[in-house]
Structure 1
Amino acid sequence: MLVHGSVYRPFHGEHHMIRINTTTTMDITNVDLPLQVDVERCNYKAGETSDGQLCIVYASHDDFLLHVWIRVVDGDGIGIWVPQNILSLSVEIGRVTRGWLGHLRVVQVRSGYVYLSMKCITPVGILRCWFLSLSLETMKIESLIHGTFGDSAYPYVMAWPPCLIGDDGGTGHEVEGSR
């Protein structure tokens, strides 16, 4: 994930991430993870809050808890992880998925939103998958898409294709009466 000109990548099996400063020197450094993160399952992602702060989001597999830490600099100038929130997701995910609970995975953290996927096998053997978004500000979960497909999808931001922009700069998709 790119945050403030640095790329953060998990160092699988280790209790730190690799940080590559892409803006000036291309320095490579290690950033320790919060001790509570289970690095063996790798169900965490680095990202940014809505105000651009570096954060770590970790989802525990056994109890559907989502842990959020923010990286701050202490009085000695040392970067530390400060717990911001621990949220129980089982009730909210149960509401969105109509009672189904399964394997939860953190897909991405971007601009104050956590993107999650969850999959489970129904009693009749059908694989059900959900892609969810969680606002770090409101802590509200929304279902983006669900169905009977694999959970290998990743959110991304894409510019509106120039060929679909009209001469007036509009997309032609304005709702009647919205002006």
Structure 2
Amino acid sequence: GGVDKHRWSMTGYRAAEGKGDSPRWSMTECRDGYVVLVNQTDNGSTKRVAVYDPLTRGLHLLSAPPEEICGDPEDTAVEFHVVTSEEDRRSLRVVCVGKESGEVRVAVFSLGSRKWQISPEAVSLQLDGEDNGTLVNGCVYWATGADIHVLNSATLQFSRIDRPPHMRREGYKIGETSDGKLCVAWATSSPGLSVWVRRADGSGVDKWMRDRAFGTRAIGELNLEFVDELPVLALDVVAIIGGIVYLSIFQPSLPSASGWFLSFCIETKELKKVCPITRSETSYPYVMAWPPVLVGNKVNSLG
């Protein structure tokens, strides 16, 4: 029946302790089998960037982004995204986005040239410095204000699309379905999950369409174990990867209590408990690509 091209695991980190301006590494993103690590001082100055492949244990060390992008660390928020190629996932680029006082600048690092290419002009755009964008099919998306802003990582051009109806202003996540369609999900107060997918309607125009998700009853059927027999639960969307919505659920009255990591398949509507977690940890769902020799592709085929 063929080999599934992906398997998933979970990875977490605890930031290294540091004093003063001593640099320390932190994890900022997991994407397409790669982990992005950033080395910063306490004042937010970026010293180095690294892209790590846990499958091969390969580590790509990048130089610090240009000062034109990072600016003053007290006023500029910086985020990074790894863009891979379907033909050869080893041919990756790193997109750096600097957000400062209503302006956005972009630079791209290529492993081939080992240099940062800076976008010619800054774009007047108010992006939330605390809210990193989400990479989907080569584009980075930010839901800011009344619109969703889009950066094409190939052309470095910005555009915008409308938000889904009734979309929450916080607590949402942007991702893709199993067939690559853009989607957005957020937790409801019941608690439950609301999912919207952007698809073409009968006239061929892309529109947001509500997708059936789940409510409190589905959570109860999982028989999750908590400290209290009848807990008040807080549900958070962690990420959407390949048509799977990853969620965490806790008792909000117990900040240090254990919780559960859940998964919801948009296609099959199946909600599963994955593993127990603690609220004090920062965790990322991580999708690991199978080695090319097992699946066969243009780079390394079984013939």
Q: Same fold (TM over 0.5)?
A: yes
Counterpart among 92, 96, 117 of residue 218 in structure 2: 92
Distance (whole Å) between structure 1 residues aligned to residue 283 and residue 150 of structure 2: 24
C-alpha contact (below 8 Å) 2:234/2:252 kept by paired residues = no
Distance (whole Å) between structure 2 residues aligned to residue 37 and residue 67 of structure 1: 9
Distance (whole Å) between structure 1 residues aligned to residue 270 and residue 184 of structure 2: 18
| Number of the residue aligned with 2:178 | 50
Letter in 2 for 1:80: K
Letter in 1 for 2:162: D
TM-score (norm 2): 0.45
Distance (whole Å) between structure 1 residues aligned to residue 281 and residue 218 of structure 2: 20
C-alpha contact (below 8 Å) 1:130/1:145 kept by paired residues = yes
Distance (whole Å) between structure 1 residues aligned to residue 276 and residue 138 of structure 2: 33
Question: 1:28 deviation in Å?
Answer: 1.1
Letter in 1 for 2:140: V
| Cα 1:121–1:104 shift into 2, 3 Å | closer
1:127 aligns with 2:257: yes
| Cα 1:49–1:77 shift into 2, 3 Å | same
Residues 139-154 of structure 1: pairs in structure 2 closer than 5 A: 139-150=269-280, 152-154=282-284
Between the two proteins, the alignment pairs up a number of residues equal to 156
Largest Rg, 1 or 2: 2
| Number of the residue aligned with 2:136 | 3
Higher relative contact order (CA 8 A, sep 6+): 2
Cα deviation code 1:119-160 (max 9, x no counterpart):
11578x861221111111221111122144425211122357
TM-score (norm 1): 0.73
Moved more, 113-122 or 90-99: 90-99
1:104 aligns with 2:231: no
Where in structure 1 are there 5+ consecutive unaligned residues?
162-168, 171-179
More strand as a share of residues:
2
Distance (whole Å) between structure 2 residues aligned to residue 71 and residue 147 of structure 1: 32
The RMSD of aligned alpha carbons is 2.8
Distance (whole Å) between structure 1 residues aligned to residue 265 and residue 202 of structure 2: 30
